[in-house]
Amino acid sequence: MSESLHVTRNGGVLEITLDRPKANAIDAKTSFEMGEVFLAFRDDPELRVAIITGAGERFFSAGWDLKAAAEGEAPDADFGPGGFAGLTELFDLDKPVIAAVNGYAFGGGFELALAADMIVCADNASFALPEAKLGIVPDSGGMLRLPKLVPPAIVNEMMMTGRRMDAEEALRWGIVNRVVSNAELMESARELAAQIAQSAPLAVAALKEVVRTTSEMTIEEGYRFTRSGALKHYPSVLHSEDALEGPAAFAEKRDPVWAGK
């Protein structure tokens, strides 16, 4: 792996650390490498959950590498599989990703965190979309995902002024799941990952698939769609070995042993 990424496996959990001093900014080359890591995570049946974090205690990621931009890298450059940072356009990833935000998450760094399924952040973390002040827009998902989480007035203020949101405000709006000290950050993210890994992998995949595909539907439309047979994971989970193992383990007062099928 490159000097910019440190990747470790802990059982079914993949930990990815972005390490590009001083601000963990992401250029196209790094984005390609991150995409390859997330694709490998997607395709590895032994891996259940991924954690993405930044090296150090100041920056999760400052987003797009403006030095690369100044040298000619365009905002619409090819950032590789999965889009910017390897995750923002990886729409067929039906495994959960936790962003462990250890400091500033600005621009594309915030967009990377928003592309994760859950966010654990340090109490010194802050979030911003300052692109308009740079003459561009947050088009790696920021202007699409943030409006699904917070009211329009807050979204407009953040995107049009670039103002920072601190960790406690992000918690109040439901953008992040947990706020902990920097020293506790990875422990908290790993604890959350371990809790997810205790659930059946097919069930987790089906849940992510259904939420993703029905988010713009009415409840009635969602029912019809999930029953239509168009989904990959939802129909299979209902008749899986794990669907038999879960109740059996409960009745026998033991931990389930998931087969993932």
Instruction: Name the catalytic one among 15, 33, 131, 209.
Output: 131
Rama region for 42: left / alpha / beta (φ>0; ψ in -120 to 50; rest): alpha
Instruction: Name the catalytic one among 89, 111, 157, 184.
Output: 111
Concerning whether 46 is annotated as a catalytic residue, the answer is: no
Concerning whether 241 is annotated as a catalytic residue, the answer is: no
**Residues recognised as catalytic:** 111, 131
